[in-house]
Amino acid sequence: MKSDFTSYFTKPDFTKAYGFDKDSNGIIYIENEKDSVFWQELLVKAGLSNYQIKYGSKNKSNDSRGKAGLKKFFESLNINALVGIDSDYDYITHAKVKEPCKCIARNKFILHTFSYSRESVIMNDVNINKSIGRIYFSECINFCFNSFLSELSNKIYADLVHLLTLHEMNTIDSGHINSSFSKLTVIYHDDGTYGVSYDDSFAKGIIDKNIIDNDRLRVHKTNYENLGLTNESAYRFIDGHKVESLIYEVVKSEQKRLIDREQKKIRDDNANNGNIIGERIKELHNHLRQNCSFFSILNSQPLDHDFVYQRILEKAKDIKNTSETQNPQSTCS
């Protein structure tokens, strides 16, 4: 049950006055500062640009600053008080939540990532490939992540479906799922390609102790597919930071190969003018550092083409279409 103190921060009198802007529609509470650009750009696209961004708490403890600190607002959200959060596993297993106001899929004023996290939205295959292709000097990195992401998703898919089903049944918690995929690593093949190693011992230990009827498992699998989880998209429904680290390991490897090729080219092209070799190599490193930061490029890519982003945008537009006079308080529907 929400307290009077908590509900104060979602009341229109507070939320509309917070920004000291007469045109303000209210506040959107988000998890932390790093999420600001993502949510602000989405609100602009949805026609909700007049919302002030605020963080759930100024207390520096993780429990009150992040998603957990925002859950106290869920029951009193309204057109003037929104929340923007990472879905984690709450969207894909939302059927386990019986109270509509607390369900991120059913509370119309909770914007969420429709995948594990903000990173999961940004790291779609199109944008990853575009971003690594923009790391260049005299040549660019010519690498496609599709097979790597496909292998990653296919290796974890069956176990992920089983673990999510157990989570939805309240048999395991989210920490068990994260631990199951914590040992994913990059494989370096002799032919220069990359693969994924998946130590499934932790997951199998859980699954073997918690047998699920095949018919029930099929029902859950179908439900998850309808929510966007397939054997090709599974990487977007596990811990986004873990996936990010795998992708960046490949990026660093490809960047090192590029540097090696570029340095060889510089030496070959200037064999008769050794005085400028050091200067050119320094120029190479400065260029890559200043102009070719993978994550800076990735975070600047448009997201409109992505099906996950479109789901978030559609929900935001639904809020736009909800007038304050029609429904000032959350119906959680």
pLDDT digits (tens, 9 = 90+) for 72-89: 999 999 999 999 999 999
Mean pLDDT of 225-253: 98
Mean pLDDT of 140-144: 97
Confirm whether 24 is domain-assigned.
Answer: yes
Structure tokens at 252: 């660093």
Residues 174 and 272 in one domain: yes
Beta strands 110-112; 81-85: pairing state: parallel
pLDDT digit string (tens) for 7-35? 555 666 555 555 546 667 889 999 999 99
Cα 125–Cα 130–Cα 131 angle in degrees, nearest 5: 100
Q: What is the pLDDT of residue 136?
A: 97
pLDDT digit string (tens) for 190-219? 999 999 999 999 999 999 999 999 999 999
Residues 146 and 110 in one domain: no
pLDDT at residue 61 is higher than 60: no
pLDDT at residue 4 is higher than 60: no
pLDDT digit string (tens) for 293-314? 999 999 999 999 999 999 999 9
Q: What is the pLDDT of residue 57?
A: 56
Bridge partners for 82 per DSSP: 28
* pLDDT range class, residue 60, cuts 50, 70, 90: very low
Q: What is the pLDDT of residue 5?
A: 45
Structure tokens at 132: 């690594």
Residues 43 and 77 in one domain: yes
pLDDT at residue 59 is higher than 90: no
pLDDT at residue 63 is higher than 70: no
More confident of the two residues 241 and 8: 241
pLDDT at residue 325 is higher than 50: no
Confirm whether 45 is domain-assigned.
Answer: yes
Confirm whether 330 is domain-assigned.
Answer: no
Confirm whether 19 is domain-assigned.
Answer: yes
Residues 65 and 85 in one domain: yes
Look up the domain containing 19 and give its range.
Answer: 4-118+310-320
Sequential DSSP letters for 179-222: HHTTT-EEEE-TTS-EEEE---HHHHHHHHHS---HHHHHHHHH
Residues 255 and 316 in one domain: no
Residues 144 and 85 in one domain: no
State the Cα–Cα distance between residues 322 and 206, nearest whole angstrom: 44
Q: What is the pLDDT of residue 20?
A: 47
Residues 246 and 274 in one domain: yes
Task: Provide CB contacts within 8 A for 191, sequence distance 6+.
Answer: none
Q: What Cα–Cα distance (Å) separates residue 92 from each residue in 88, 152, 163?
A: 8, 19, 12
Mean pLDDT of 248-265: 98
The number of distinct structural domains making up the chain is: 2
Residues 49 and 182 in one domain: no
Residues 14 and 162 in one domain: no
Q: What is the pLDDT of residue 274?
A: 81
Confirm whether 332 is domain-assigned.
Answer: no
pLDDT at residue 157 is higher than 60: yes
Confirm whether 92 is domain-assigned.
Answer: yes
Q: What is the pLDDT of residue 315?
A: 97
Confirm whether 64 is domain-assigned.
Answer: yes
State the Cα–Cα distance between residues 40 and 127, nearest whole angstrom: 20
Mean pLDDT of the chain: 91
Residues 12 and 67 in one domain: yes
**140 φ, ψ (degrees, to nearest 5):** -105, 170
Q: What is the pLDDT of residue 68?
A: 87
Confirm whether 243 is domain-assigned.
Answer: yes
Residues 22 and 39 in one domain: yes
Residues 147 and 87 in one domain: no
pLDDT at residue 119 is higher than 80: yes
